[in-house]
Amino acid sequence: MARLLIIGCGGVARVAIAKCCQNSEVFQEIMIASRTVSKCDALAAELAPKTKTVITTAKVDADNVEELTALIRSYQPDAVLNVALPYQDLTIMDACLAAGVDYIDTANYEPEDTEDPEWRAVYEKRCKELGFSAYFDYSWQWAYQEKFEKAGLTAVCGTGFDPGVTSVFTAYALKHYFDEIHTIDILDCNGGDHGYPFATNFNPEINLREVSAPGSYWEDGHWVEIPPMSIKREYDFAQVGKKDMYLLHHEEIESLAKNIPGVKRIRFFMTFGQSYLTHMKCLENVGMLSTAPIEFEGQQIVPIQFLKALLPDPASLGPRTVGKTNIGCIFTGVKDGREKTLYIYNVCDHQECYREVGSQAISYTTGVPAMIGSMMVVSGLWKKPGVFTVEEFDPDPYMDALNKFGLPWVVEENPQLIP
């Protein structure tokens, strides 16, 4: 029996909230709080007739720690689920500390303004020291370790699908199938088609920043950075078929490198069609992916934010998207002195998701694990003081919950490996 405060009411939040409402034995009460309260009210009105979960709503600016702390204190939740944007991670963590509640999110911190000189100084130092140049990394949230520990509070970072389920798959493989994992290849395949020439499946700003950045992987104790989209492989995905995929930097590589003893290499691949890549390159070449504000007709505008306003709202892709996603991890390693390989993955159908919760599979595969991570925390199964990523907890109850709440997984021995 728990009370959860959910911050944000976008694509991922919609699914996480719908799933909390399906799980009213655990989530007896939820509050949806976001910047645009009309979206929260509309979703609450849609879900209330179908659930026992008591839903309330509020308007909050999660960039404002005082406003958010006051809201948390007045609602008194058991935990706060952050499904706003990575820009709000630190302010929401600050508010959780001030009000004394546990914290859960689906993406690690990145700044909204990457030109901010204070942030930039820390960032440039980190690029030199660690050898990868993504704007997002765990250092900002890991810096809260002592504060959460002292307060006796739990922060669970990155409980979406990737990061999230992919790291739970890794913990599960290590617990049940391997003595030591040597390589991890995380494969994210979206075989869905929405019929638009160009659209992003989740927040365009976050998505395009991630995809246009240099790729990188972890090998023999250090990062190897490569130009964007310069490593390409083809893979034959179960229930989707053959797709081209590209090596990207991804945040779970950082935490898995730290938490999986003996791991020698971790890579992340995502599938993209040629049309997506051509559009993205063109937008990048003309400066539309820039996060630096420019002056336009007497007004300051940020090009990527303007682009976001032009692109289809990811939430509107649901009814149009057909096909399946296949996301999972291929492991190599040893068990009882013998080499072995294993693939754990989930296949999710865009149209089935839409019928169930009114969203496409990208929001679904993130929102379901966001609810499950919150359930792990509020039920006390995943509770220890400090800041953690999901592979640091017992994977078994989470894996059971994936099967129960719509993301069943498959374990395949001896899969096709990636050169």
Residues at the contact surface with ligand NDP, assessed by CB under 6 A:
7-13, 34-36, 39, 60-63, 83-86, 88, 106-107, 160-164, 202-203, 206, 314, 366
| Angstrom distances, CA of residue 24 to CA of 12, 19, 233, 333 | 19, 9, 43, 40
Contact status, residue 153 vs residue 79, Cβ threshold 8 Å: no
- Minimum separation from the CB atom of position 378 to ligand NDP (A): 19
Residue closer to ligand NDP (CB basis): 70 or 224: 70
Residue nearest to ligand NDP (CB): 10
Distance CA 183, CA 248 (A): 16
Phi-psi region of 389 (alpha: psi -120 to 50; beta: other; left: phi over 0): beta
- For residue 327, the minimal CB distance to ligand NDP (Å) is 9
Q: Which two tokens stand for residue 303?
A: 């090009």
Residue closer to ligand NDP, measured from CB, 203 or 332: 203
DSSP annotation of 152 reads T
Nearer to ligand NDP, 32 or 181 (CB): 32
CB of 15 to ligand NDP, least distance (A): 9
- Residue closer to ligand NDP by CB (options 13, 289) is 13
177/196 with CB nearer ligand NDP: 196
10 — phi, psi (to 5°)? Answer: -100, -150
Query: What are phi and psi for residue 79, nearest 5 degrees?
Result: -160, 165
Decide whether 164 or 415 has the Cβ nearer to ligand NDP: 164
Cβ 332 to ligand NDP shortest distance, Å: 24
> Closest distance between ligand NDP and the C-beta of residue 401, in Å?
16
From 196, 184, 145, select the one nearest 387 (Cα to Cα).
145
> Is the Cβ of residue 13 or residue 153 nearer to ligand NDP in the bound state?
13
Judge whether 256 and 264 are in contact, CB under 8 Å: no
> Which tokens in the block code for residue 56?
């309330």
Asked if residue 260 lies in contact with residue 170, where contact means CB atoms within 8 angstroms, the answer is yes
Give the pair of three-digit tokens for residue 181: 């994992």
Nearest distance from C-beta of residue 37 to ligand NDP, angstroms: 9
User: Does the N-terminal peptide bond of residue 214 adopt cis geometry, omega within 30 degrees of 0?
Assistant: no
Smallest distance from the beta carbon of 339 to ligand NDP, in angstroms? 30
Contact 391, 329 (CB under 8 A): no
The residue among 107 and 181 lying less far from ligand NDP, judged by its C-beta, is 107
Q: For ligand NDP, give the closer residue by CB, 107 or 376.
A: 107
Nearest distance in Å: CB 202, ligand NDP = 3
**Pairing mode, if any, of strands 338-349 and 241-247?**
unpaired
DSSP letters along 96-139, please? HHHHT-EEEESS----S-TT-HHHHHHHHHHHHHHS---S--SH
Question: Closest approach of Cβ 335 to ligand NDP, in Å?
Answer: 29
Crossing angle of helices 65-75 and 89-99, in 10° steps, is: 50
How many residues in total does the chain contain?
Answer: 419
Are the CB atoms for 194 and 202 separated by under 8 Å? no
